Amino acid sequence: MDKRIAKLVTVIKREYLERVRQRWFIVSSLLVPFMMVGLVAVPAWLSAKSITIADVSKVVIVDATGTDLGARVAESLFDSTHTNPAAARAHLRTATTATLAAAESVATRDVMERRASGFVVLDSSTATRRRARYEGRDATSIGLEKLIQRALRRGIIADRLKARGIDAAQIDSITSVDASISTNRLDENGRGGSGIAATIVGFGLAFLLYFSIIIFGQNVLRGVMEEKQTRVAEVVVSSVPAETLLAGKVIGVGGVGLTQQVLWYGMAAVLMTQIGPFLSRMSGGKAAAAGAGAGVALSALPNFSLGFIASVILFFVFGITFYCTLFAAVGAMVSSEQEAQQAAVPVTMLAVLSFIFVQPITLNPTSTLAHVMSWLPFSAPVVMPLRMTLLSIPWYEVAGSLLSVALGCVIATWFAARIYRVGLLMYGKKPSLRELVRWVRYSH
Amino acid sequence: MTDNAIEIKDVGKSYSGHVAVRDLSLTVPRGAVYGLLGPNGAGKTTTIRMLLNIISPDTGSIQIFGQPNYTAGATDNLGYLPEERGLYPKMQVRRVLRFLGELKGLSGKEADRRITAWLERLGLKTAEKDWGESKVNELSRGMQQKVQFIGTLLHDPDLVILDEPFSGLDPINAQALKDTVVDLKRRGKTVIFSTHLMEQAERICDSVCIIARGEKVLDGGVAQVKAEHAGKNIALALDGAPNNGVSAVLGDRALVTRVDDNNRSFELELAPGADSQDLLRRLIGAGARIQRFELVQPSLHKIFLEKVGATNVEEGMSGHG
């Protein structure tokens, strides 16, 4: 192996292994996938739970309509399969308009003394104005409300159908229809997954890219500063050119970042497949909405083609290179933590700037802002992958954006290497802008 | 192959108007212990950095073992101990050393073997405790210095460059370093070290180069330099009191301008143009039994002061430090 390459490999190995061994790397690699899954799964789980806990088993129906609406509602609520008509009848209390007040006060006492959880009142206005009243301990439960509403609706429809002379069996088959909806993104390139899912995934992707770039950038900055402060840099650059050290550092850290991304998404995918069935069990198939909520996470993900994955990886690699070289230059410029905080502001601002606009771009991924930001080298690594999950971007735009980031990398590396080489051996006060320009112009 | 470990020709380096090194030329023979002397800020560290190809000279050329020092791998045969020492504080000692060894082209396996040998040799690996398994920042300062030596010498370089090696060393490590330098010399290695402590250089070095304000003041073998700057002073000791003939010789103002008579020993100052060997012959001719006849050589420190002038000597620049 060529000596220079052997040395570069030695540097890469050190940068990679020393970071991967650190506790924070292991912890963050393990923790983030759980957070990712949690972010998707918890809302789905909660929505599933709010419906399943809607317990109708102790609801009483007070029917003062004088029709069999009450019986139908009870049947829909308690005996949708027509196997246990007695169970449905047990919940039903018929009254007349005259006895309604008395029946209600009995039911009220039942609720107060916990013999029932609540009661539905169907009176003469129910059939005409399609309105009923529910009183009970869990009056705020949306799930319960939905269930009763649905039963009532079926009852009213059945009544009307009956009034037009349709027989009971047919009525049943007509009213027992349940509909659910799933949303799909459709554009000029065809189907592309669920709209909400794409937004969640896109935002998460952008956030993790940004987060990773910032964290590893800061990490490089601290590493360079440590090398400079401990003077170990001088020993190292007596064996390898400063450029090789910088290249090895950026490649090593980029490798750590990539490893972490792979761990994150890999683990999240595995966790998701474990948690998906659990969620649908939770909802017990009873509520379509809950199933859809859980399904968002799994089945409705945007179509991740190989090209998509490859370009996100490239964006990440270029992005982390761009920022790591700049942060390395900052690290070489300064001699103390306080100075570093200050000197890093311009670089950090670039990264923050690209993230500030993530939300507006998510809401409007075709805006001019979104277009511009996906062409600028400092923001494209975050913005372009986000847009690619939201829209289908023509391949030439992706390639052009990648080219722009690559070009940005070359320029950033050129400047950073020059500042790095000089700064690494300069101790004392932070250089002024003019001195920096001079550093860049030093031939060697 | 040349006989010189290092050839520096007309090297100059300046930083934004400030000249760090001006037209420096020097030659370090193979196998020599070479001292680069000068006050702080004289340009020693800049010279060493240029030598190591950490920075490039603006002008001139540098060759290491007959090869320009910027050729790939030219500095692999070179061990460097910087003035301000440092290692990766959070790295395991063995891993740091393996890293430094691999950077110089050692295989990981070979590095590991040598690291064990070195750790044992310097008492960092004993039956009870292997400090090689600890992190650098868990070691005492003295131990860290030892680790740094190992890092410098692990790849068994033919040329060792030590920048102010004795500063900050505890006496035990200073002794160990001196022994190491002697050992390296015995094994035919070339050692260059910079120091502002003239007395130390005088004891250890074969050759020296004194630089001040970025310029070479003088260079050459220590004996030669001292001989060249030998004053007119002669220390003379006789067996028994001087006879008349001897007294006459000592009284010859063409030979001796001043005599400090301490009874049996004398300090003489030679007359301008007079030859010390002539004086010796005449003393013997006069029947003197000579116990000691020595051209008193000035210390490097004195030579330095003479050449550069005490006004240019910074605080801390002393022959007795």
Q: pLDDT of B90-125, one tens digit each?
A: 899 999 999 999 999 899 899 999 999 999 988 888
Inter-chain CB proximity B86 and A235 less than 8 Å: yes
Q: What is the mean pLDDT of residues B22-46?
A: 88
A116 contacts A57 by C-beta, under 8 angstroms = no
| pLDDT over threshold 70, residue A444 | no
The two three-digit tokens of residue B189, written as one number: 């290695």
Inter-chain CB proximity A232 and B88 less than 8 Å: yes
Q: Which residue of B has its CA nearest to A230?
A: B86
| pLDDT over threshold 50, residue A289 | no
Chain A partners within 8 Å of B82 (Cβ): 231, 234-235, 238
Whether B102 contacts chain A with CB within 8 A: yes
Inter-chain CB proximity A3 and B105 less than 8 Å: yes
pLDDT at B316: 42
| pLDDT over threshold 60, residue A302 | no
Chain B partners within 8 Å of A238 (Cβ): 52-54, 75, 78, 80, 82
Q: Give the lowest-confidence range in A180-189, A418-427, B237-246, B280-289.
A: A180-189
DSSP state of B257: E
What interface predicted TM-score (ipTM) does this complex get?
0.76
Inter-chain CB proximity B103 and A444 less than 8 Å: no
CB pairs under 8 A between A and B: 69
Interface of A with B in 13-32 (CB under 8 A): 14, 18
Nearest to A323 by CA among A378, A281, A247, A387: A378
Inter-chain CB proximity A239 and B99 less than 8 Å: no
pLDDT at A184: 60
Inter-chain CB proximity A231 and B56 less than 8 Å: no
Chain A partners within 8 Å of B84 (Cβ): 231, 234
Residue pLDDT, tens place only, A200-214: 778 888 888 898 999
- Nearest CA-CA distance, residue B12 and chain A, Å: 14
| pLDDT over threshold 70, residue A35 | yes
Strand partners, B221: B207
Q: B88, B109, B144, B192: which to substitute to probe chain A, counting the most A Cβ within 10 Å?
A: B88
- Nearest CA-CA distance, residue A333 and chain B, Å: 17
pLDDT at A361: 86
Which of the four pLDDT bands, split at 50, 70 and 90, describes residue A438? Answer: confident
Q: Compute the distance between CA of residue A132 and CA of residue A124 in angstroms, rounded to an integer.
A: 10
B265: number of Cβ within 10 Å:
13
Q: B99, B145, B192: which to substitute to probe chain A, counting the most A Cβ within 10 Å?
A: B99
Which of the four pLDDT bands, split at 50, 70 and 90, describes residue A355? Answer: confident
Q: Which helix (H) or strand (E) holds B18?
A: strand B18-29
pTM tops 0.80, yes or no: no
Residue pLDDT, tens place only, A102-123: 888 888 888 888 888 888 888 8
| pLDDT over threshold 50, residue B35 | yes
The per-residue b/e assignment along A187-213, b for 16 or more CB within 10 angstroms, e otherwise, is: eeeeebbbeebbbbbbbbbbebbbebb
Q: Compute the distance between CA of residue A214 and CA of residue A350 in angstroms, rounded to an integer.
A: 10
Distance of CA A309 to the CA centre of its chain: 17
Q: Which residue has the tokens 């390296």?
A: B184
Whether A5 contacts chain B with CB within 8 A: no
Whether A237 contacts chain B with CB within 8 A: yes
Inter-chain CB proximity A231 and B82 less than 8 Å: yes
Look at A194 and A254; give whichever has higher pLDDT: A254
Q: Which among B52, B53, B86 has CB closest to A231?
A: B86
pLDDT at A409: 92
- Nearest CA-CA distance, residue B122 and chain A, Å: 21
Inter-chain CB proximity A11 and B87 less than 8 Å: no
Which of the four pLDDT bands, split at 50, 70 and 90, describes residue B53? Answer: confident
Chain B partners within 8 Å of A3 (Cβ): 72-73, 76, 105
Chain B partners within 8 Å of A4 (Cβ): 72
Inter-chain CB proximity B54 and A438 less than 8 Å: no
A434 contacts A347 by C-beta, under 8 angstroms = no
